[in-house]
Amino acid sequence: MKRVITYGTFDLLHYGHINLLRRAKAQGDYLIVALSTDEFNWNEKQKKSYFTYEERKAMLEAIRYVDLVVPEDNWEQKKTDVGKYNVDVFVMGDDWKGKFDFLKEQCEVVYLSRTPEISTTKIKTELNNK
Protein backbone atom coordinates (compact mmCIF):
# COMPACT_ATOMS: atom_id res chain seq x y z
CA MET A 1 0.00 0.00 0.00
CA LYS A 2 1.37 3.39 -1.03
CA ARG A 3 0.85 5.97 1.75
CA VAL A 4 0.58 9.70 1.10
CA ILE A 5 0.61 12.57 3.61
CA THR A 6 -0.27 16.23 3.30
CA TYR A 7 -0.54 19.09 5.79
CA GLY A 8 -2.74 22.11 6.21
CA THR A 9 -5.24 24.17 8.16
CA PHE A 10 -8.18 23.51 5.81
CA ASP A 11 -10.24 26.34 7.27
CA LEU A 12 -13.22 27.56 5.25
CA LEU A 13 -13.05 24.34 3.23
CA HIS A 14 -13.46 25.05 -0.50
CA TYR A 15 -13.10 23.34 -3.87
CA GLY A 16 -9.38 24.20 -4.04
CA HIS A 17 -8.89 22.08 -0.91
CA ILE A 18 -10.93 19.27 -2.47
CA ASN A 19 -8.81 19.45 -5.65
CA LEU A 20 -5.64 19.19 -3.57
CA LEU A 21 -6.96 16.23 -1.57
CA ARG A 22 -8.18 14.43 -4.71
CA ARG A 23 -4.82 14.91 -6.43
CA ALA A 24 -2.90 13.94 -3.29
CA LYS A 25 -4.92 10.73 -2.99
CA ALA A 26 -4.14 9.96 -6.65
CA GLN A 27 -0.44 9.76 -5.66
CA GLY A 28 -1.11 6.56 -3.70
CA ASP A 29 -3.65 4.34 -1.96
CA TYR A 30 -4.02 5.85 1.52
CA LEU A 31 -4.16 9.57 2.30
CA ILE A 32 -3.21 10.96 5.69
CA VAL A 33 -4.00 14.61 6.41
CA ALA A 34 -2.05 16.28 9.21
CA LEU A 35 -4.38 19.04 10.31
CA SER A 36 -3.00 22.11 12.09
CA THR A 37 -4.35 22.35 15.63
CA ASP A 38 -5.86 25.59 16.90
CA GLU A 39 -2.89 26.08 19.24
CA PHE A 40 -0.35 25.53 16.46
CA ASN A 41 -2.22 27.96 14.16
CA TRP A 42 -2.27 30.65 16.83
CA ASN A 43 1.14 30.16 18.47
CA GLU A 44 3.21 29.50 15.34
CA LYS A 45 1.26 31.02 12.46
CA GLN A 46 -0.57 33.83 14.28
CA LYS A 47 -3.78 32.68 12.56
CA LYS A 48 -7.17 32.10 14.12
CA SER A 49 -9.33 29.63 12.27
CA TYR A 50 -13.02 30.23 11.78
CA PHE A 51 -13.75 26.56 12.50
CA THR A 52 -12.23 24.72 15.46
CA TYR A 53 -9.82 21.84 15.01
CA GLU A 54 -12.58 19.33 15.79
CA GLU A 55 -14.95 20.92 13.25
CA ARG A 56 -12.25 21.01 10.56
CA LYS A 57 -11.31 17.40 11.37
CA ALA A 58 -14.94 16.27 11.02
CA MET A 59 -15.22 17.96 7.62
CA LEU A 60 -12.01 16.33 6.38
CA GLU A 61 -13.08 12.91 7.64
CA ALA A 62 -16.27 13.25 5.57
CA ILE A 63 -14.28 13.62 2.33
CA ARG A 64 -13.92 10.35 0.46
CA TYR A 65 -10.28 10.96 -0.48
CA VAL A 66 -9.16 11.23 3.17
CA ASP A 67 -8.36 8.03 5.05
CA LEU A 68 -6.90 9.41 8.29
CA VAL A 69 -6.70 12.83 9.97
CA VAL A 70 -3.97 13.43 12.56
CA PRO A 71 -3.05 16.61 14.47
CA GLU A 72 -0.19 18.85 13.38
CA ASP A 73 1.26 20.40 16.54
CA ASN A 74 4.60 21.76 15.32
CA TRP A 75 6.70 22.45 12.22
CA GLU A 76 9.25 19.76 13.05
CA GLN A 77 6.90 16.79 13.17
CA LYS A 78 6.90 16.24 9.41
CA LYS A 79 10.12 14.25 9.48
CA THR A 80 8.80 12.13 12.37
CA ASP A 81 5.38 11.63 10.76
CA VAL A 82 6.91 10.28 7.55
CA GLY A 83 8.51 7.49 9.59
CA LYS A 84 5.66 7.00 12.05
CA TYR A 85 3.03 6.52 9.33
CA ASN A 86 5.32 4.72 6.81
CA VAL A 87 4.77 7.47 4.25
CA ASP A 88 5.85 6.94 0.65
CA VAL A 89 4.82 10.33 -0.76
CA PHE A 90 4.77 13.75 0.93
CA VAL A 91 2.45 16.20 -0.88
CA MET A 92 2.10 19.96 -0.49
CA GLY A 93 0.84 22.85 -2.59
CA ASP A 94 3.43 24.45 -4.86
CA ASP A 95 3.41 27.63 -2.78
CA TRP A 96 5.72 25.57 -0.50
CA LYS A 97 7.96 24.42 -3.39
CA GLY A 98 11.43 23.47 -2.18
CA LYS A 99 10.67 23.97 1.51
CA PHE A 100 10.33 20.25 2.25
CA ASP A 101 12.98 18.83 -0.07
CA PHE A 102 14.88 17.66 3.04
CA LEU A 103 12.27 14.87 3.26
CA LYS A 104 13.49 13.39 -0.06
CA GLU A 105 15.89 11.27 2.00
CA GLN A 106 12.85 9.48 3.45
CA CYS A 107 10.17 9.59 0.75
CA GLU A 108 9.10 11.11 -2.55
CA VAL A 109 8.19 14.81 -2.27
CA VAL A 110 5.53 16.21 -4.62
CA TYR A 111 4.41 19.84 -4.91
CA LEU A 112 1.00 20.17 -6.56
CA SER A 113 -0.15 23.33 -8.31
CA ARG A 114 -2.84 25.24 -6.47
CA THR A 115 -6.30 25.97 -7.83
CA PRO A 116 -5.47 29.55 -8.89
CA GLU A 117 -8.82 31.26 -8.57
CA ILE A 118 -9.63 30.25 -4.98
CA SER A 119 -8.02 30.44 -1.55
CA THR A 120 -9.14 30.89 2.03
CA THR A 121 -7.40 34.28 2.07
CA LYS A 122 -9.36 35.35 -1.02
CA ILE A 123 -12.65 34.23 0.56
CA LYS A 124 -11.91 36.14 3.79
CA THR A 125 -10.89 39.27 1.85
CA GLU A 126 -14.01 39.23 -0.30
CA LEU A 127 -16.27 38.68 2.73
CA ASN A 128 -14.61 41.60 4.56
CA ASN A 129 -15.17 43.88 1.57
CA LYS A 130 -18.92 43.24 1.37
Q: Which residue in the list 2, 25, 47, 57 is annotated as catalytic?
A: 47
Give me the sign of the Cα torsion angle 79, 83, 84, 85: positive
Compute the distance between CA of residue 102 and CA of residue 61 in angstroms, rounded to an integer. 29
Q: Of 11, 5, 9, 2, whose CA–CA distance to 24 is shortest?
A: 5
User: 45, 97, 104, 122: which one is catalytic?
Assistant: 45
E strand or H helix at 104? none
Q: Is 79 a catalytic residue?
A: no
122 noted as active-site residue = no
Active site residues: 45, 47
